[in-house]
């Protein structure tokens, strides 16, 4: 089978398409999946760029979707021909988070899905939403489930809530869609006039250009009538957190998801305390969360926004497109 591997010390020029041995037939409790698609995330970029060192020869990519080719003894949840999508933490099935690192995450601590075939425990996958393409399904594993957990699981999103999303990456666009589908009002930031129009077309009540408006947090709060938003999808990190606190209402919820502006920085703790806000860090979610999200996608009819698709052989070019910041929604890879 073909697989993309990453040589140390990392970097896009260290990605190489290789021929590898077929993994064979599934054992008890396992399934064999013919992978058809993956999608790019900031975490994947961290691995392939070498910013997050991994083992020499690692197969990257945390997201994988395809069809089941065979099932091992004892597997009753899936059958050959079923469309499935991978989970970010294969060992986190339900309950509170049991892991605080990426040692078990495909494409990082273990081999990922930039390959044609994988044999893995059946519990490492859920079924894909009915009728979705493999490219669409591949966006659930990381970006989709992160947005779902931030808003629904941790945030308790309800109709009438106000939500702020930062930028137009995969998590932010998914959060906009989920929030709108559940009857919430959405506000957004961007630095592009063209992207601002697309956000409005998707239902954003107001969009603020963060390059033109330095105090964008206060501007978002004004757009809500001065109350502030109920939820912030905080993907930026240290350079955006102070503005997110300004945008968020007293007692509001901020989901700390991303480190796009760095891994550490100052936090205005006095302001956070004074506004009684909840700042909760999270990394994706459990298999149970993912199964709930799949049902919700089918019920609401929501479909992800796809940007561009690249063949597996052009994975480095896909990451270069991600580097450019020109994408809107999810970049996918066909396998």
Q: Average pLDDT for residues 268-293, to the nearest whole number?
A: 94
pLDDT at 262 over 80: no
With residue 70 as reference, give the H or E element that holds it: strand 65-71
Helix, strand or coil, per DSSP, at residue 45: helix
Q: Average pLDDT for residues 20-32, to the nearest whole number?
A: 97
Task: Among 130-139, 170-179, 235-244, name the one with the lowest average pLDDT.
Answer: 235-244
- From CA 112, how far away is CA 156, in angstroms rounded? 31
pLDDT at 164 over 90: yes
Query: Which pLDDT score, from 0 to 100, does residue 19 have?
Result: 96
Q: Average pLDDT for residues 98-116, to the nearest whole number?
A: 97
Query: Which pLDDT score, from 0 to 100, does residue 15 have?
Result: 98
Distances (CA, A) of 309 to 134, 136, 190, 237, 275: 12, 11, 23, 28, 43
pLDDT at 261 over 90: no
CATH fit for domain 2-140+285-334, picks 3.40.50.300, 3.30.70.100, 1.10.3720.10, 3.90.180.10: 3.90.180.10
> Length of the chain in residues, anyone?
335
Q: For strand 206-209 and strand 229-234, is the pairing parallel, antiparallel, or unpaired?
A: unpaired
- From CA 280, how far away is CA 235, in angstroms rounded? 12
Strand residues in 220-325 grouped as ranges (E) = 229-234, 248-256, 278-281, 306-311
pLDDT at 239 over 90: no
In tens, the pLDDT along 44-94 reads: 999 999 999 999 999 999 999 999 999 999 999 999 999 999 999 999 999
What is the overall mean pLDDT for the chain?
96
Q: Where are the alpha helices (DSSP H) in 248-314?
A: 269-274, 287-300
pLDDT at 135 over 90: yes
Phi, psi of 120 (to 5 degrees): -155, 165
Confidence of residue 269 (pLDDT cuts 50, 70, 90): confident
Distances (CA, A) of 134 to 7, 56, 215: 28, 28, 41
Q: Average pLDDT for residues 215-222, to the nearest whole number?
A: 97
Q: Where in the chain is the domain with CATH 3.90.180.10?
A: 2-140+285-334
pLDDT at 187 over 80: yes
Q: Where in the chain is the domain with CATH 3.40.50.720?
A: 145-281
Q: Which CATH superfamily is domain 145-281 in?
A: NAD(P)-binding Rossmann-like Domain (3.40.50.720)
Q: Average pLDDT for residues 4-23, to the nearest whole number?
A: 96
Query: Which pLDDT score, from 0 to 100, does residue 237 have?
Result: 82
In tens, the pLDDT along 300-325 reads: 999 999 999 999 999 999 999 999 98
């Amino acid at each position: 089978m073909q697989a993309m591997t990453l040589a140390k010390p990392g970097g896009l020029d260290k990605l190489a398409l290789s021929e590898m041995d077929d993994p064979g037939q599934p054992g008890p409790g396992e399934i064999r999946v013919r992978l058809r698609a993956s999608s790019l995330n900031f975490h994947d970029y961290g691995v392939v760029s070498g910013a997050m060192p991994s083992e020499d020869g690692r197969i990257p990519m945390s997201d994988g979707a395809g069809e089941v080719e065979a099932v091992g003894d004892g597997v009753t949840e899936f059958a050959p021909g079923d469309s499935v999508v991978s989970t970010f933490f294969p060992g986190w099935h339900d309950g509170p988070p049991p892991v605080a690192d990426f040692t078990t995450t495909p494409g990082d601590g273990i081999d990922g899905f930039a390959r044609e075939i994988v044999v893995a425990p059946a519990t490492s996958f859920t079924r894909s939403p009915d009728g979705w393409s493999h490219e669409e399904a591949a966006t659930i594993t990381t970006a989709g489930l992160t947005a779902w957990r931030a808003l629904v699981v941790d945030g308790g999103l309800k109709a009438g809530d106000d939500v702020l999303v930062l930028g137009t990456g995969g998590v932010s666009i998914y959060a906009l869609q989920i929030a709108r589908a559940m009857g919430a009002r959405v506000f957004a930031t961007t630095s592009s006039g063209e992207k601002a129009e697309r956000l409005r077309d998707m239902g954003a009540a107001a969009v603020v250009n963060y390059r033109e408006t330095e105090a964008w947090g206060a501007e978002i709060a004004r757009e809500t009538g001065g109350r502030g938003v109920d939820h912030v999808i905080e993907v930026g990190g240290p350079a955006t957190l102070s503005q997110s606190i300004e945008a968020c209402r007293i007692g509001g919820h901020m989901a700390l998801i991303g480190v796009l502006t760095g891994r550490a920085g100052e936090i205005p703790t006095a302001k956070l305390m004074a506004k009684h806000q909840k700042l909760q860090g999270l990394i994706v979610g459990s298999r149970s969360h993912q199964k709930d999200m799949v049902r919700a996608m089918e019920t609401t009819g929501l479909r992800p926004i796809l940007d561009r698709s690249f063949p597996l052989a052009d994975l480095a070019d896909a990451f270069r497109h991600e580097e450019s910041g020109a994408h809107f929604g999810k970049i996918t890879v066909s396998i």
